[in-house]
Chain A
């Protein structure tokens, strides 16, 4: 929790202010029973009306002080907690942005999102509550006890005696409760996952007539959720009645022994009334305890999750010596490159060497898991090679300035992903200050311009969440256009034309071939590979064959096999 709450440090002064105001409010309230005692003992029993009026006004004034400090406290608490969460969120998000992919991939994306959203909010709420009420309940109990002792120690001792027992009981129950509620949360998560699964697989379930089966599975999960929920709540529900009973008994003890003290003339009625009043206040405060401790336990878990990110060691994503090539000629050289993912020992790439001259096209083929995508990731330096060197435009990638290196590369990933915003916004990711003409030019090359023009708002059409629905092919073409806007000297296409029909794909390739760029193309299709200057065939992370189509046909049995299986389909592929 330390690291997270360190982000509250810049707000030390407003925090102190807020706590001071809270304390003031509390003190003022704790004065009330004391004043009541005065009204009874000095006013009513003495028959002094002026005193009563005076003390009445004092009570009123105290209430005003409490109100004003409470209101001002709201401003401070809101300011501190909002600013704190702003800073914290910024730090976490910034940290994530600075992650190398190696670090990034250690966390599941959904986990990162929850940390930035609900976890931060939870911690923020705890801070807000902390500045306003969380300390209030314990302080109220302690304060009431002290005040009661001040008023009359002999009477108040009966309140103090019962206190440790109640506290121990509370602690024990809360520990138990926290455990049970985490079970409940797990069950609830399982239930929600099941619902999601069912919504996604509606057709499958219907096709296999598994409606009843699913409903039975669901009711089992729902039933265990019910049982655990009931158990957890029933445990928590014992707390209040027992605490109340304990406090009430000690109240009776105060009355019983108070009576004998008064008899012995050791105590005054007003004092007794004041202590009774304090006891009742403590009882009220107790009902908040379990709530507070539960909230605390939850925020502890959240802040620990956030800290995992803030304290994560970031392996890479450091600039090299900041070198930049004078001429970005587009050459790509792999020299004895081996690679294994950070934290694993299995080599995904073994001793890979090849060279692509400027403006050449390399096709990369191989089975799933043969290392195609891993190889591509080394070029924009998403990861560093474990052995050997990767040279881009003649310079080792480790020496490059990262932004400059990536600026010269256009990447079209396997899964095309667009972001919320207009089509123009998305395309201009490729180049920050691209003018409309450049965007349209790229869109034309990517065979998507005509489609975009037909949208009601053309390039101003919103895509992504809350935007229009694009088909897979449209998304792919937009993400190709986005890469083309960069006018990259190296273009990487990771099997990114799969959703295009043959006609469009052909037109696209025609345009791409005219681009002045070195191309690395991952493909499964011999037809595409044939047109490349060279083909790199990977098998389990090693170069199985490297050369032109004809060379490979002669030299590689695997390539021949693939070619044969697709030969007939070559004329096909029309859908």
Chain B
């Protein structure tokens, strides 16, 4: 029992004194340019600006009425109750009723409107950011991790949202209440006011002492949480392997180690932050004692009245609360502004631009030329990903791209769809450089079938229709039939209306492939970019896919990253890529006869 009582004081300190002396470079998250950030938020308020001003005026009213309440009560005590003359007290009470009604109504209205304004601003930020993301080039997404962008879209915006919802009014009313209280108190009794305000420096010092520690401790705690959660995520998703290798004791041990670390840091973080309200309370109670004691003595010689003491005790309580709120809100508001700034930073990223509106109406035939094209990824220091590649593919022809991973096959396709622009050389479609054609015109004519097909959390129907939004139900079915997908779709619980899960867990990899072929079919493109799936698909499905692809390729200029001999053999032309360069080209037969790199590749594979 004694141990249990002593235990909380037995934790090893997590931070040392030396650590505290070191100045922390970036104490809290601060916005670099909060003025322009606030200005941008103000712009988002847009047509609600007048309403926002109304809200602020209401905050003014409610803060004033909140002060008036205790003041009138003190007045009642002094004027009517102490002298025991109650004649006209009813009038004051009636006034108080009006004050209280006004207070409640203004409180309600300001929040009612503020929530509306705040959510409208957030809505604009969200959709604005999302729309902007849609217009950013692919290279932007390469540079960033999904997690980071997710965090911009979710955490940062929600942070701004909750700050606008509550902190905004709170900060404003805290400031008003503080000044108002101080002014009224000074007017009533300067001496008592000074005594009440004694607590402010005390508060400052003690808060400094605490936050210096909690700041670091919370950082430590956050780190410990991150480590632990990362570990949990990994071992849970890899549970089967943990079991296969009988590593349960090992992961348990590691888990306990990380969990213990979190307990240690968490203990100190929570203990110290737990001090804050207690210290505030103490200062509150202290000033209460001073007001009551000193006020009482002053009342004896008549320099203050009992009513004033009542007002002061209430004001003293009202005084520390906004101070506390301000201290709390300060960091919240700062980090929300910093969050908003990060969101706006993304919105300032340059969009994918189409300089010329020429060739917008161009109907493409599908004659593709690469003329000495070189390309390297932005920021990549190494060599060219694509180096001096030239070729041409005729209308309706099929080109097979072969070569090892990293040889540049995928990049060729991405350049053709203008996900990236070539650094040197020119890519031409029907003789027109693709750089001079709006991306929209270009991509309208191109369809992709990727190796790892992506499906949206939507119905099968909508997933296929993605290729052409105005496709009728009839057309969707037709495409599915052509893509050999109709049969399995019919077997799904709700047929075409089945909602596919985001992770695609309901259907197999091969079936996903079929759906993405149907999607491409319905788009009816002039140019087809196709990344053939490697293995992992069973033979029966594989045959279905082959068949569907052949139907899809008829009459379209197709580029295929080939993994099957069949595909290569049927291609009109084969491009052999090696380290970003086009090393051989010709029909399969020609290449074999040449006895070059391609022939060697085949020979190696024979084994």
Contact = CB atoms under 8 A, between A and B. Distances in A.
A445 to B, nearest CB: 18
Contacts of B594: none
B294 interface: yes
B402 A575 contact: yes
A229 B604 contact: no
B245 A429 contact: yes
A116 B97 CA distance: 52
Contact of B541 (A43, A117, A368): A368
Contacts of A473: 405
Given A55-B293, A71-B275, A209-B443, A195 B536 contact: no
A439 B232 CA distance: 26
Contact of B405 (A11, A191, A482, A501): A501
A63 B285 contact: yes
Q: Interface residue tally of chain B, by bracket?
A: 35 or more
Contacts of A77: 270, 274
B585 interface: no
Given A256-B89, A263-B86, A207 B443 contact: yes
Given A49-B300, A263-B86, A276-B73, A234 B607 contact: no
B104 A197 contact: no
A109 B236 contact: yes
Given A207-B447, A229-B119, A502-B604, A62 B285 contact: yes
A11 B7 CA distance: 10
Contact of A574 (B105, B228, B232, B605): B605
A294 interface: no
Given A93-B232, A230-B119, A43 B296 contact: yes
Contacts of A562: 539
Nearest to B110: A237
Given A78-B8, A226-B122, A204 B300 contact: no
Contacts of B103: 241, 244-245, 248
Interface stretch (B32-40, B128-136, B362-370, B386-394): B128-136
A197 B5 contact: no
B97 A413 contact: no
B81 A197 contact: no
Contacts of B348: none
A326 to B, nearest CB: 20
13 contacts: A52-B297, A67-B278, A70-B278, A90-B255, A97-B242, A226-B119, A276-B310, A277-B310, A368-B509, A380-B244, A413-B240, A573-B563, A574-B601
Interface in A351-394: 366-370, 380, 382
A439 to B, nearest CB: 14
A368 B508 contact: yes
Nearest to B101: A245
Nearest to B402: A575
A44 B487 CA distance: 94
A501 B467 CA distance: 33
B303 interface: no
Contacts of B255: 90, 93
Nearest to A506: B607
Q: Which 5 A-B pairs have the closest CB atoms?
A: A56-B293, A70-B278, A572-B565, A74-B274, A59-B289
B328 interface: no
A230 B118 CA distance: 9
B605 A284 contact: no
Contact of B97 (A43, A191, A249): A249
B301 to A, nearest CB: 9
B75 to A, nearest CB: 11
Given A43-B296, A575-B563, 11 more contacts: A35-B292, A74-B278, A78-B267, A79-B271, A90-B255, A99-B239, A101-B240, A208-B448, A233-B119, A242-B104, A565-B543
Contact of B446 (A207, A214, A407, A471): A207
B108 A241 contact: yes
B234 A215 contact: no
A413 B242 CA distance: 12
B20 interface: no
Contacts of B7: 14, 79
A57 B293 CA distance: 8
A104 interface: yes
Interface stretch (B175-183, B246-254, B331-339, B550-558): B246-254
A465 B523 CA distance: 38
Interface in B529-552: 529, 534-543
B232 A263 contact: no
Interface stretch (B147-155, B186-194, B421-429): B147-155
Contact of B300 (A52, A419, A482): A52
A47 B297 CA distance: 9
B246 A78 contact: no
A76 interface: yes
Nearest to A213: B469
Interface in A520-575: 524-525, 561-562, 565-566, 568-569, 571-575
B268 to A, nearest CB: 8
A113 B233 contact: yes
Contact of A86 (B243, B260, B414): B260
A196 interface: yes
Interface stretch (B44-52, B376-384, B449-457, B476-484): B449-457
Contact of B565 (A98, A367, A568): A568
Nearest to B352: A206
B134 A67 contact: no
Contacts of B404: 501, 575
B382 to A, nearest CB: 15
A191 B127 CA distance: 11
B203 to A, nearest CB: 13
A13 B3 CA distance: 10
Contacts of B270: 74, 77-78, 81-82, 128
Interface string B507-542: 011100000000100010000010000111111111
Contact of A83 (B73, B154, B263, B414): B263
Nearest to B117: A230
Contacts of B260: 86
B213 to A, nearest CB: 12
A62 B260 CA distance: 38
Contact of B100 (A196, A245, A482, A573): A245
B86 A195 contact: no
B314 interface: yes
B123 A222 contact: yes
Interface in A209-231: 209-215, 218-219, 222-223, 225-226, 229-230
B22 to A, nearest CB: 25
A571 B602 contact: yes
B299 A255 contact: no
Contacts of A222: 123, 126-127, 130
B17 to A, nearest CB: 19
A571 B604 CA distance: 9
Given A86-B260, A215-B131, A248 B69 contact: yes
Nearest to B282: A67
Interface in B251-309: 251-252, 255-256, 259-260, 262-263, 266-268, 270-272, 274-275, 277-279, 281-282, 285-286, 288-290, 292-294, 296-297, 299-300, 306, 309
A195 B132 CA distance: 13
B8 A79 contact: yes
B466 interface: yes
Nearest to A431: B245
Nearest to A471: B405
A209 B93 contact: no
A119 to B, nearest CB: 12
Question: Which one of A99, A430, A575 has the greatest number of beta carbons of chain B within 10 Å?
Answer: A575
A55 B450 CA distance: 82
